[in-house]
Chains A and B, each alone.
Chain A
């Protein structure tokens, strides 16, 4: 194995987190190598039309996703079952290649609320110690909203997020979300134009006394120059966003907000086609010496580094630590161990409202984050006393597209094929409003990830095994919130409203969301967390783990905004604390 020249920092995965971390550390003078398993790709030429507007290739065949034929995961609902490979991606879609999963995101850019970061404490205080199912393992994050606020702000200004503030320094703002935790200033750009579904939803939600607001979108409402000096365009609502890359320079992704600056810095070197096998440890197992990877032509290389940052997709961060022997693997039988613990997801429900043919929706006119929603039933924004669950969901008319292979809503009871199906598709395609109920996900003792004992990836390493089913808490939450959403659909005047609250068992055969969280969670206690509040490994202090894998449980909103905030929070600790005096930032 060839040993390469040592560098200061090696970053595993050059997606959103990796690009931002590498940019900051390279700008601070450190020699940084970024190892990306996929290929390089840019707005021009890779993301251009007409080819990018191909539903079959990108939606159905999952062209931008992690190559599951070489690197699958296995899955089972219960520990008593045999986990089997997810032979086709359906339920969630991790990306690959330069820019990572963010290239195919929708741009829905939320903050979590102050209560989310202290969920265990808050739940005890508000509902009592015995309120929760004892199987639920939610915990505080070890960081507060107030600490993260400047970093949320920085991330939103990097992206140019289009939205309307609801709370600026404690002052409620008309038109925004009154439930949000205070932000220091307005969004960088105003909200996107409201589509018809959003306008119908807004009127209905207002009539019920709720508080509708425009979805914060990183598909921009107007041209924007970010603090890195990079220019973005306004989104044109083409309807090819999620699962696609943006041809227009209008979606905030690493290619459009930071990579041009990073790649111009001689302190940074990008290497693509590099599959990191493990983080190497010295004989004490308390210090990382770098990483070993297989390059694009199959050579095994060792890259020594003083600091290793793993910034891959959530489930891959978990696997990287397990393959490297960093942190004790979680054992659900004893509750001991931490790596793989508190794997959670997102509890998604839908409501379809069917209208007469004089209501013309044009579902294909949308951005990935256009639309209008309410947070009245999200998080802890309503009293859960007597309800038997915690958490909630935002309810929104936030449909992202009308691409017909996937999107052809029909009322319940419609035949699955034949003339009845065809006529229903034609009748309802342009006259239906879809709501999303985007729900929280509690962590639970039996939901976890570890290494699969049987199945291997193309490099001969064990794949990740996911053991997950929806906690009863979240099934109850989904039923409660979906019923509220159905009422909004009725208030819109729909002829028929069909709610589909999420039910178990969790299945990998149906797309729900790519919001996998947990497994390398952050916290104040090494017995229940993998990294400390600065995302530094408790066990190997020169390894930092940054990803949605840090979330102790998942909240009611899309996770990317919070991950951006955590990224800048960790960078602040790296630059101003760790790199000045390498060592533990929190005593173990």
Chain B
């Protein structure tokens, strides 16, 4: 798996970038202790896939990296651990239909009525990926072996809704894949993506930081602090005040 992961990553990064792959694959470990300026030369932690099967992994890793590619600005979805995020979300409560009303009857509805399929996210991914991989195996090149341009064209064809993926309109699958990839890229690293807060560093979001009282009216000044993950307790204390009852 490692080998394939690395291969699809290199394929999508290609020769166009001048950033060494090792720099893009910075590890999640010891985010607090590791200053951002210190280059990391170690391999990323291996993703142990609990939800996606081997064929699905090949597609997901390659597809996520096209949605959010590595470039001169830094790692893409793969380097940030987005496939790991997807795997853990789809294998958990979210995949099982957390916060999704699941009773019928089932009707297609109008676009303004939103998602109306009986599939949970887990079912939707499995159903869609089965058809995608089956069709590509039968008629062409597996997705992870395509050129970046061909991959983009294939993803656009999914996005435009041209395929029926065993009951799932491909546009619905694509939209969920894109939404979850963005989530995995930008959510707190405790969820398994955004490794070492790479996405936050790229845009300058400080994360779970809690106090800008002194900074807010110092206008047009860049906030130069290391981002903070939920994994760090930025306060180290609980806001108990003697004269404010905590509860009753």
A→B interface (CB under 8 Å): 40, 42-45, 48-51, 53-56, 60-62, 68-69, 72, 75-77, 81-82, 84-90, 193-196, 199, 230-240, 247-249, 256, 259-260, 263-264, 359-360, 362, 364-366, 370, 402-405, 408, 416-419, 421-423, 425-426, 429-430, 454-456, 505-509
State which of B115, B178, B187, B211 has its C-beta within 8 Å of the C-beta of A55. B187
- Let me know if B245 is at the binding interface, CB within 8 A: yes
Contact of B205 with A418 in the complex, beta carbons under 8 Å: no
State which of B107, B116, B188, B233 has its C-beta within 8 Å of the C-beta of A49. B233
Q: Of residues 95 to 112 in B, which have CB atoms within 8 Å of A's CB atoms?
A: 97-103, 105, 107, 109-112
Contact of B208 with A53 in the complex, beta carbons under 8 Å: yes
Complex A-B, nearest 3 residue pairs according to Cβ-Cβ distance, in ascending order: A42-B247, A507-B112, A44-B246
Contacting residues, chain A, for B181 (C-beta < 8 A): 417
Contact of A48 with B203 in the complex, beta carbons under 8 Å: no
- Complex-state Cα separation, A422 to B126, whole angstroms: 27
- Complex-state Cα separation, A72 to B248, whole angstroms: 32
- Let me know if B230 is at the binding interface, CB within 8 A: yes
Contact of A88 with B210 in the complex, beta carbons under 8 Å: no
State which of B97, B110, B112, B212 has its C-beta within 8 Å of the C-beta of A365. B212
- Complex-state Cα separation, A402 to B209, whole angstroms: 12
Contact of B216 with A237 in the complex, beta carbons under 8 Å: yes
Q: Of residues 225 to 248 in B, which have CB atoms within 8 Å of A's CB atoms?
A: 230-235, 238-241, 243-248
Question: For B178, B200, B210, B215, which residue has the most chain A Cβ atoms within 10 angstroms?
Answer: B210
Tell me whether A404 and B199 are in contact in the complex, defined as CB-CB below 8 angstroms, given that A49-B208, A61-B94, A237-B212 are known contacts: yes
Question: For A231, A238, A405, which residue has the most chain B Cβ atoms within 10 angstroms?
Answer: A405
Write the nearest CB–CB distance from B232 to chain A, whole angstroms: 7
Contacting residues, chain B, for A455 (C-beta < 8 A): 103
Write the nearest CB–CB distance from B220 to chain A, whole angstroms: 5
- Complex-state Cα separation, A237 to B233, whole angstroms: 18
Contact of B241 with A249 in the complex, beta carbons under 8 Å: yes
State which of A87, A194, A421, A423 has its C-beta within 8 Å of the C-beta of B101. A87
Contacting residues, chain A, for B199 (C-beta < 8 A): 404
Contacting residues, chain B, for A248 (C-beta < 8 A): 210, 239
Contact of A89 with B99 in the complex, beta carbons under 8 Å: yes
Q: Interface on chain B toward A: helix, strand, loop, or mixed SS?
A: loop
State which of B116, B159, B178, B211 has its C-beta within 8 Å of the C-beta of A84. B116
Tell me whether A249 and B205 are in contact in the complex, defined as CB-CB below 8 angstroms, given that A55-B188, A417-B178 are known contacts: no
Contact of B114 with A50 in the complex, beta carbons under 8 Å: no
Contact of B111 with A507 in the complex, beta carbons under 8 Å: yes
- Let me know if B19 is at the binding interface, CB within 8 A: no
Contact of B186 with A408 in the complex, beta carbons under 8 Å: yes
- Mask of B67-97 contacts with A, CB within 8 angstroms, 1/0: 1110101001000000000000000001001
- Let me know if B56 is at the binding interface, CB within 8 A: no
State which of A234, A360, A422 has its C-beta within 8 Å of the C-beta of B71. A422
- Complex-state Cα separation, A455 to B102, whole angstroms: 11
Cross-chain pairs A/B with CB under 8 angstroms, 27 sampled:
A42-B246, A42-B248, A43-B246, A49-B234, A50-B230, A54-B208, A69-B99, A69-B100, A77-B110, A85-B103, A87-B116, A231-B244, A235-B213, A237-B211, A238-B209, A238-B211, A247-B239, A249-B241, A256-B244, A259-B248, A417-B67, A419-B71, A422-B69, A423-B71, A426-B73, A507-B112, A508-B112
Contacting residues, chain B, for A419 (C-beta < 8 A): 69, 71
Contacting residues, chain B, for A264 (C-beta < 8 A): 248
State which of A88, A263, A402, A506 has its C-beta within 8 Å of the C-beta of B205. A402
Contact of B183 with A88 in the complex, beta carbons under 8 Å: no
- Let me know if B37 is at the binding interface, CB within 8 A: no
Contact of A196 with B182 in the complex, beta carbons under 8 Å: no
Write the nearest CB–CB distance from B30 to chain A, whole angstroms: 17
Write the nearest CB–CB distance from B242 to chain A, whole angstroms: 10
Write the nearest CB–CB distance from A398 to chain B, whole angstroms: 14
Contacting residues, chain A, for B207 (C-beta < 8 A): 53
Closest to B210 in A: A238
Question: For B110, B204, B210, B216, which residue has the most chain A Cβ atoms within 10 angstroms?
Answer: B216
Contacting residues, chain A, for B73 (C-beta < 8 A): 422-423, 426
Tell me whether A87 and B115 are in contact in the complex, defined as CB-CB below 8 angstroms, given that A196-B219, A239-B212 are known contacts: yes
